[in-house]
Amino acid sequence: MSSAPESSPPPRPRRSASVLLAEVARATQRLADAGVPSPRFDAEELAAYVHGTDRTRLHTVPDADFDARYWEAVARREAREPLQHITGRAFFRYLELKVGPGVFVPRPETESVVGWAIDAVRAMDVAEPLIVDLCTGSGAIALALAQEVPRATVHGVELDERALEWARRNASDNAEGSRVTLHQGDALTALPELSGQVDLVISNPPYIPLSEWEHVAPEARDHDPQMALFSGEDGLDVIRGLERTAHRLLRHGGMVVIEHADTQGGLVPWLFTEDGGWADAADHPDLNNRPRFATARRVAR
């Protein structure tokens, strides 16, 4: 007698998506329709912020704990308010920084600029490097350099008092802030007491041409400080001044690194001429292979 065939186990019921994940999906579509560049990421980051968790643990939020204030945050982002202004925080390399109205929000592309600077300083035969960050804004660059080059002394210069307050806040919140000295002042006349002593000058200055105003993303145009964005008809007015400041501050053999727009690739290195006391002027790409920053080495004029 043949045995009866074994019956297969009943299929497991599918686990339904949590309320929060379903709302994140709806929010993603709303943000995409509003033209937000990274709708899924932003929808998840807002959900994590409102619910006091991180993006990888959104699925653990109980349905009963869904907070309707999430939709208030989504509406603000839908209106193109910067994500970082809503959450009050920005991540830059290994730092979490406080940001908000009155200060330029640090961008991911600047991380590659800082990475180059860190490698350059480490390659120098200098026990305790002296670094100057011009147009420091939130202090992101200065604090990252202090964190990743532990024996460095870093000076950050910022003209705008509101931005400088954010930098001071970030310096006080991070252990490496004790090795960052912040100064209010014009980057073009900064720190005469350090002339000829600095190993590295770095800057993410304003570099957007005034003619490009209407093409700038609303997150930047409507929320970042105007003085942190625009710099004359070709966008290079401040960088021209920084070339002179960097030459004054740097010791012989010291390096300068300056961020610029991807459309200015090839233009900025030409400002660092041999006649002006520079060598090895070059452009470098960011992680998306777009020209992003220029570097040069100071030599005797």
Active site residues: 104, 204-205
Do 98 and 89 meet the contact criterion of CB atoms below 8 Å apart?
A: yes
Burial degree of 234 (CB within 10 A; 0-12, 13-18, 19+): middle
Burial degree of 221 (CB within 10 A; 0-12, 13-18, 19+): middle
153 Cα distance to chain centroid: 21
* Nearest C-alpha neighbor of 209 from the set 239, 188, 241: 239
What residues form DSSP beta bridges with 133? 156, 202
Tell me which H or E stretch contains 131. Answer: strand 130-134
Q: Which long-range contacts (CB under 8 A, 24 or more apart) does 121-127 make?
A: 121/145, 121/149, 121/152, 121/199, 121/200, 122/149, 124/199, 124/200, 126/199, 127/151
> What CA–CA distances, in Å, run from 85 to 35, 46, 73, 80?
18, 11, 10, 10
* Nearest C-alpha neighbor of 109 from the set 140, 153, 84: 140
CB atoms within 10 A of CB 133: 30
